[in-house]
């Protein structure tokens, strides 16, 4: 078995699969030698004539340049210089249509020849002895030599191969029909080509140089053999004529049997391919010092009078070449730069010849028929038989049409060399190559997009990380001053901490609250009303700390803060008001900052309370910002609780409550608040000789809580307890104007809140029932849920239950003389699904009525608008039904009611008004009815409010 080297030495050639034999048409242009052209009027020299980057401009407009003078300086990235092809003046430097299928404008130097052809000084040399590879590569680089076979790859880059080159393959195949530029060059300049080969050999030192020439160029083969006679390392190989054996990969296969790996370069298999034209230019550059300024171009085609190869200066326009050779355009004239298989049609003849231009083909429509209509693929796979890359063009075509890009890659689309053999043989005239080009472009585009997206993601993540880092930094920055800032606060906090550290250092707010509650109970029993504020203080301190952190976290989300601010402000105002009312000396702080104001107000209130009882008023405003009303509420609750305690014990509170705590979790806060209120109530209960006018506004959460549920629950519990307290209170003569809570909330989910509120009200009512001689004007607007709940159903249910109980209470209540102005609930809700709500409401009303019926001597002006569901339900049908049922029951109740003295005007009115309508309700009209009912209820509510106002006044 011979080794590969021996096989190559013996002249063995290999075959590549596929390939076609299109009409060669070489004879058209190779009958006469390479001609010369007259100087054109001007030359257009694109800065970029190769693969790689532009050089840097060295000349200016108006400058005179000599022939061969360098016009651009090469930079990095495979950039090459360009040179002046002749002496003349730079007329302009501007973008001009380029020699590219798209004719995309490319920055070009426009040179007006002076006709002198004055060369710049050239460095010629006799031999390359003494020049090392690097020097030679440098010469090639500065001569601006790029591959002249087609792609225009910078020759110096190739020559500077990092890999050992075993075989230098010289491409003199010229397999494209019509083109004879290399053929003629080899015939006329075989000697120079061989010396160019020798230069490359001295750079690369390959084992052999294999010159591949198709056997349809016997003269060229002969000339090359003669020229290479002296060098037995240069093997001239006549290879069978078959398109596309001039393809780099195919030629390597034919001459060396090697295959360039997919996606690789010939150097990967120790091969380097150079075109004969390039080698001629190498020789010229090295021995004569001439840069690449001209090349052989075949001008051919049936519309050319003298088809011939010509020496064309780079930058000569195609028009110049055509007209110099005589050109008679035909109808639908095509002018192709390159050969008929891989060349591209020019949109205009004013395109310059560049380093890669080997042929200008101007055929008539007989010799190269215009492509016919694309027909259906018949899967004959003639394309596969023709493919030199052993692809399955037919399958690729289906995938390309279906845009199945993954499949395309699976079928190795990117190994397609776009030789056009498949399109050539296709009986259906499917422009296969065009499909592949489009698909390739799409896939590249997609990959690019992917990369872009990847980068964008990275950027985004980096930014996120940076922001987080910055935030952390900010937090750290803020923490330090916060700890040290107000000395007073700090002292107090630390004091509090110290006080309670030993006791319950790890307790949570809730636990603390519970504990406190228990403690209070104990207090009740023992009636040793010693306030134990230490725990509270600890909690406060803790919460304060927490609040600061929270605040910092929230610092950036300013959009959230506005409503909370408002809430806080409201709380503050409410508290302040109450405080003002109760306090003998009210130190209401200026509300510059609503947040601070709120806190301050709370504190003020608390103090005021204390003052009211202990007559000590040393109110202190602690500046803080309540971003979250929940915490604020908690704090206020605590404050109130304390106040209550104080009041209860009649002790002198030594400690000033600093209430600026923001609970991280409002739920617990609320629980705590509730507990606090409960305690307060208990206190009130146990309190004997409650002094009148103890206006104890439990809480006014004008809040728009995000999740008010638990808060409300807590509030409710609190209120309930308060009521209990009231119940057991004997001789509660005071006008305990206790608006338990006014949740002007717009909760997102007010359900539980409402439930809680309801429970609270219910209990309150019970309390009222058992209360003897409740003479006080317990102005207790239980709740005003001006809510727009997303799902008010349960809320409504709860409310209903509450009302029902309340009614029961009212019934059982004897001598309820008090003006218990208790608008149970005003659910200004716009529920999305009010059905259940309505049902509940109905039930509630029904019960209420029952209650009213059973109530004996209900003399009190219990202005109790049971419910005013100003609802605009989306699906009001059920609601309406429920309403109707409710009203019906209510009516029954009313009928049976004896001595109904209760001024339940509003409810009644609403019922009366809607009752008659319900009778007429047809399914279609239910909605309208419901709306009407709503309107009615709204009116009733207004009335109630007015009444309430009157009562209060």
Q: Which residues define the annotated binding site?
A: 377, 380, 383, 387, 416, 419, 422, 426
Least CB distance from residue 307 to other proteins, whole Å? 16
Least CB distance from residue 440 to other proteins, whole Å? 13
The residues, any chain, with a CB within 8 Å of residue 558's CB and separated by 6 or more, are none
434 lies in the binding site for other proteins (CB under 8 A): yes
399 lies in the binding site for other proteins (CB under 8 A): no
**Among the listed residues 35, 75, 431, 905, the single contact to other proteins using CB under 8 A:** 431
Q: Which window, 384-392, 731-739, 884-892, 943-951, contacts other proteins (CB under 8 A)? A: 384-392
Instruction: Give the pairing type, strands 234-239 and 271-275.
Output: unpaired
Binding to other proteins in span 18-57, by CB under 8 A: 20, 22-23
Site string for other proteins, 307-346 (x = CB under 8 A): ----------------------x--xxxxx-x-xxxxxxx
**Among the listed residues 70, 139, 140, 433, the single contact to other proteins using CB under 8 A:** 433
Convert 245-282 to b/e letters by CB count within 10 Å (16 or more is b).
bbbbbbbbbbbbebebeeeebbbebbbbbbbbbbbbbb
300 lies in the binding site for other proteins (CB under 8 A): no
Q: Which is nearer to other proteins, 156 or 424 (CB)?
A: 424
Helices (H), 615-708: 629-649, 666-686
Q: Which is nearer to other proteins, 434 or 591 (CB)?
A: 434
Please provide residue 254's backbone torsions phi and psi, each rounded to the nearest 5 degrees.
-65, -40
Least CB distance from residue 265 to other proteins, whole Å? 11
269 lies in the binding site for other proteins (CB under 8 A): yes
380 lies in the binding site for other proteins (CB under 8 A): yes
**Among the listed residues 62, 105, 218, 261, the single contact to other proteins using CB under 8 A:** 261
What is the CA angle 29-33-37, rounded to 5? 90
Q: Specify whether the CB–CB gap between 91 and 65 falls below 8 A.
A: no
CA 841/CA 869 separation, integer angstroms:
8
Q: Which is nearer to other proteins, 415 or 870 (CB)?
A: 415
Cα separation values, 45 from 52, 109, 213, 244, 297, Å = 16, 5, 31, 31, 16
Cα separation values, 27 from 295, 462, 559, Å = 20, 65, 82
CA 655/CA 672 separation, integer angstroms:
20
What is the DSSP annotation of 457-475? Answer: HHHHHHHHHHHHHHHHHHH
Beta bridge partners of 64: 89
Nearest to 721 by CA among 689, 691, 686, 688: 686
CA 934/CA 872 separation, integer angstroms:
8
Q: Specify whether the CB–CB gap between 878 and 838 falls below 8 A.
A: yes
207 lies in the binding site for other proteins (CB under 8 A): no
Quick check: helix, strand or coil at residue 931? Answer: helix
245 lies in the binding site for other proteins (CB under 8 A): no
Least CB distance from residue 91 to other proteins, whole Å? 23
The residues, any chain, with a CB within 8 Å of residue 135's CB and separated by 6 or more, are none
Q: Which is nearer to other proteins, 4 or 453 (CB)?
A: 4
Helices (H), 132-260: 133-142, 155-159, 181-204, 218-227, 248-256
1 lies in the binding site for other proteins (CB under 8 A): no
266 lies in the binding site for other proteins (CB under 8 A): no
The Cβ-side half-sphere exposure at 589, using a 13 Å CA radius, reads 27
Please provide residue 588's backbone torsions phi and psi, each rounded to the nearest 5 degrees.
-75, 120
436 lies in the binding site for other proteins (CB under 8 A): no
170 lies in the binding site for other proteins (CB under 8 A): no
Quick check: helix, strand or coil at residue 672? Answer: helix
CA 872/CA 557 separation, integer angstroms:
33
**Among the listed residues 26, 253, 295, 861, the single contact to other proteins using CB under 8 A:** 253
Q: Which is nearer to other proteins, 367 or 814 (CB)?
A: 367
Q: Which is nearer to other proteins, 206 or 876 (CB)?
A: 206
Q: Which is nearer to other proteins, 368 or 603 (CB)?
A: 368
Instruction: Give the pairing type, strands 234-239 and 208-214.
Output: parallel
Least CB distance from residue 25 to other proteins, whole Å? 9
Q: Specify whether the CB–CB gap between 858 and 810 falls below 8 A.
A: yes
899 lies in the binding site for other proteins (CB under 8 A): no
Least CB distance from residue 16 to other proteins, whole Å? 7
Dmax (CA) for the chain in angstroms is 137
Q: Which window, 167-175, 305-313, 423-431, 705-713, contacts other proteins (CB under 8 A)? A: 423-431
Question: Given CA atoms 554, 560, 561, 564 in this order, what sign does their dihedral have?
Answer: negative
Annotated binding site for [4Fe-4S] cluster: 377, 380, 383, 387, 416, 419, 422, 426
CA 117/CA 471 separation, integer angstroms:
70
**Among the listed residues 144, 149, 177, 834, the single contact to other proteins using CB under 8 A:** 177
395 lies in the binding site for other proteins (CB under 8 A): yes
Least CB distance from residue 90 to other proteins, whole Å? 28
246 lies in the binding site for other proteins (CB under 8 A): no
384 lies in the binding site for other proteins (CB under 8 A): yes
621 lies in the binding site for other proteins (CB under 8 A): no
Q: What is the dihedral of CA 203, 207, 209, 215, to 10 degrees?
A: -170
150 lies in the binding site for other proteins (CB under 8 A): no
Q: Which window, 15-23, 72-80, 597-605, 750-758, contacts other proteins (CB under 8 A)? A: 15-23
Binding to other proteins in span 437-466, by CB under 8 A: 437
**Among the listed residues 251, 424, 575, 588, the single contact to other proteins using CB under 8 A:** 424
Least CB distance from residue 872 to other proteins, whole Å? 54
Q: Which is nearer to other proteins, 145 or 426 (CB)?
A: 426
CA 713/CA 902 separation, integer angstroms:
30
**Among the listed residues 389, 625, 820, 906, the single contact to other proteins using CB under 8 A:** 389
Least CB distance from residue 187 to other proteins, whole Å? 25
Q: Is the peptide bond before 244 cis (omega within 30 degrees of 0)?
A: yes
Q: Which window, 78-86, 408-416, 732-740, 780-788, contacts other proteins (CB under 8 A)? A: 408-416
Q: Which is nearer to other proteins, 397 or 534 (CB)?
A: 397
Least CB distance from residue 396 to other proteins, whole Å? 11
Binding to other proteins in span 339-378, by CB under 8 A: 340-349, 361, 363, 368-373, 375-378
Quick check: helix, strand or coil at residue 699? Answer: strand
How many of the other CB atoms lie within 10 Å of CB of 737?
A: 19
Least CB distance from residue 118 to other proteins, whole Å? 34
Least CB distance from residue 256 to other proteins, whole Å? 12
Q: Specify whether the CB–CB gap between 761 and 803 falls below 8 A.
A: yes
Q: Which is nearer to other proteins, 17 or 33 (CB)?
A: 17
402 lies in the binding site for other proteins (CB under 8 A): no
Nearest to 876 by CA among 927, 836, 829, 828: 927
Q: Which window, 141-149, 418-426, 730-738, 874-882, contacts other proteins (CB under 8 A)? A: 418-426
**Among the listed residues 8, 16, 143, 272, the single contact to other proteins using CB under 8 A:** 16
Q: Specify whether the CB–CB gap between 282 and 140 falls below 8 A.
A: yes
Nearest to 759 by CA among 718, 702, 708: 718
Q: Which is nearer to other proteins, 25 or 108 (CB)?
A: 25
Binding to other proteins in span 503-522, by CB under 8 A: none
Judged by CB under 8 A, how many residues of this single chain contact other proteins? 75
Least CB distance from residue 202 to other proteins, whole Å? 27
């Amino acid at each position: 078995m011979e080794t590969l080297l021996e096989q190559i030495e013996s002249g063995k050639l290999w075959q590549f699969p596929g390939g076609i034999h299109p009409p060669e048409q070489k004879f058209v242009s190779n009958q006469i030698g390479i001609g010369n052209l007259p100087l054109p009027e001007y030359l257009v020299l694109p800065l970029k004539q190769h693969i790689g980057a532009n050089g840097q401009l060295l000349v200016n407009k108006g400058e005179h340049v000599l022939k061969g003078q360098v016009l651009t300086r090469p930079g990095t990235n495979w950039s090459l210089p360009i040179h002046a092809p002749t002496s003349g003046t730079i007329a302009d430097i501007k973008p001009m249509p380029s020699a590219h299928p798209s004719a995309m404008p490319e920055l070009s130097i426009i040179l007006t020849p002076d006709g002198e052809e004055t060369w710049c000084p050239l460095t010629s040399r006799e031999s390359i002895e003494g020049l090392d590879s690097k020097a030679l590569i440098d010469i090639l680089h500065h001569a601006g030599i790029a591959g002249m076979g087609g792609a225009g790859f910078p020759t110096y880059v190739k020559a500077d191969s990092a890999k050992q080159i075993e075989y230098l393959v010289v491409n003199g195949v010229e397999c494209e029909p019509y083109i004879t530029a290399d053929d003629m060059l080899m015939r006329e300049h075989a000697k120079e080509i061989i010396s160019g080969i020798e230069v490359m050999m001295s750079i690369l030192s390959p084992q052999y140089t294999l010159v591949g020439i198709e056997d349809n160029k016997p003269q060229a083969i002969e000339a090359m053999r003669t020229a290479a006679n002296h060098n037995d390392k240069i093997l001239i190989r006549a290879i069978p004529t078959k398109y596309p054996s001039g393809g780099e990969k195919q030629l390597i296969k034919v001459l060396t049997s090697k295959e360039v790996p997919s996606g690789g370069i010939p150097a990967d298999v120790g091969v380097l391919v150079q075109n004969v034209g390039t080698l001629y230019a190498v020789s010229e550059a090295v021995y004569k010092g001439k840069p690449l300024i001209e090349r052989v171009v075949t001008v051919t085609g049936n519309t050319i009078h003298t088809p011939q190869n010509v020496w064309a200066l780079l930058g000569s326009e195609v028009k110049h070449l055509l007209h110099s050779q005589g050109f008679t355009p035909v109808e639908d004239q095509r002018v192709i730069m390159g050969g008929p298989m891989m060349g591209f049609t020019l949109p205009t003849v004013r395109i310059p010849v560049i380093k890669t231009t080997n042929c200008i083909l101007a055929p008539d429509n007989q010799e190269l028929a215009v492509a016919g209509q694309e027909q259906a693929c018949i899967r004959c796979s003639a394309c596969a038989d023709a493919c030199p890359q052993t692809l399955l063009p037919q399958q690729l075509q289906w995938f390309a049409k279906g845009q199945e890009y993954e499949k395309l890659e699976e079928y190795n689309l990117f190994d397609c060399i776009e030789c056009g053999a498949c399109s050539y043989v296709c009986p259906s005239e499917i422009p296969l190559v065009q499909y592949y080009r489009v698909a390739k472009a799409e896939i590249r585009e997609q990959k690019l997009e992917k990369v872009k997206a990847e980068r964008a993601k990275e950027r985004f993540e980096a930014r996120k990380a940076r922001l987080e880092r910055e935030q952390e930094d900010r937090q750290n920055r803020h923490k330090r001053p916060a700890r040290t800032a107000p000395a007073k606060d700090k002292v107090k906090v630390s004091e509090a901490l110290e006080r309670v550290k030993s006791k319950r250092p790890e307790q949570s707010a809730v636990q603390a609250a519970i504990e406190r509650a228990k403690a209070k109970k104990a207090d009740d029993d023992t009636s040793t009303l010693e306030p134990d504020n230490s725990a509270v203080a600890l909690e406060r301190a803790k919460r304060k700390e927490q609040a600061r952190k929270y605040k910092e976290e929230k610092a950036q989300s300013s959009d959230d803060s506005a409503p909370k601010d408002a809430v806080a402000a409201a709380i503050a105002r409410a508290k302040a008001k109450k405080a003002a009312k109760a306090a003998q000396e009210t130190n209401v702080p200026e509300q510059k900052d609503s947040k601070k104001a709120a806190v301050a107000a709370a504190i003020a209130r608390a103090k005021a309370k204390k003052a009211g009882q202990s007559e000590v008023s040393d109110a202190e405003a602690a500046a803080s910002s309540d971003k979250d009303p929940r915490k604020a509420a908690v704090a206020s609750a605590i404050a109130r609780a304390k106040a209550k305690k104080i009041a209860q014990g009649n002790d002198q509170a030594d400690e000033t409550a600093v209430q600026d705590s923001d609970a991280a979790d409002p739920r617990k806060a609320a629980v705590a608040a509730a507990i606090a209120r409960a305690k307060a109530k208990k206190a009130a209960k146990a309190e004997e000789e409650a002094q009148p006018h103890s206006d104890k506004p439990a809480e006014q959460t004008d809040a728009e809580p995000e999740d008010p549920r638990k808060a409300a629950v807590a509030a409710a519990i609190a209120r309930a307890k308060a009521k209990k307290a009231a119940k057991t209170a004997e001789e509660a003569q005071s006008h305990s104007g206790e608006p338990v809570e006014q949740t002007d909330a717009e909760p997102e989910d007010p359900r539980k809140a409402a439930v809680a509120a309801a429970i609270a009200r219910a209990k309150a009512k019970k309390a009222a029932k058992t209360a003897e001689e409740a003479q006080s004007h317990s102005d207790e607007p239980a709740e005003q849920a001006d809510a727009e709940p997303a799902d008010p159903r349960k809320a409504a249910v709860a409310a209903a239950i509450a009302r029902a109980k309340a009614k029961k209470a009212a019934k059982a209540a004897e001598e309820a003389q008090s003006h218990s102005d208790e608008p149970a609930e005003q659910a200004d809700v716009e529920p999305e699904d009010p059905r259940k709500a309505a049902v509940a409401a109905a039930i509630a009303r029904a019960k209420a009525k029952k209650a009213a019926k059973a109530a004996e001597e209900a003399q009190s002006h219990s202005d109790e608008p049971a419910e005013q569901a100003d609802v605009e339900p989306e699906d009001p049908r059920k609601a309406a039904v429920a309403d109707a049922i409710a009203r019906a029951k209510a009516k029954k109740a009313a009928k049976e009611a004896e001595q109904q003295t209760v001024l339940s005007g509003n409810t009644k009115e609403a019922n009366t008004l809607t009752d008659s309508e319900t009778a007429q309700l047809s399914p279609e009209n239910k909605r309208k009815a419901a709306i009407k009912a709503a309107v009615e209820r709204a009116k009733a509510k207004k009335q109630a409010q007015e009444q309430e106002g009157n009562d209060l006044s």
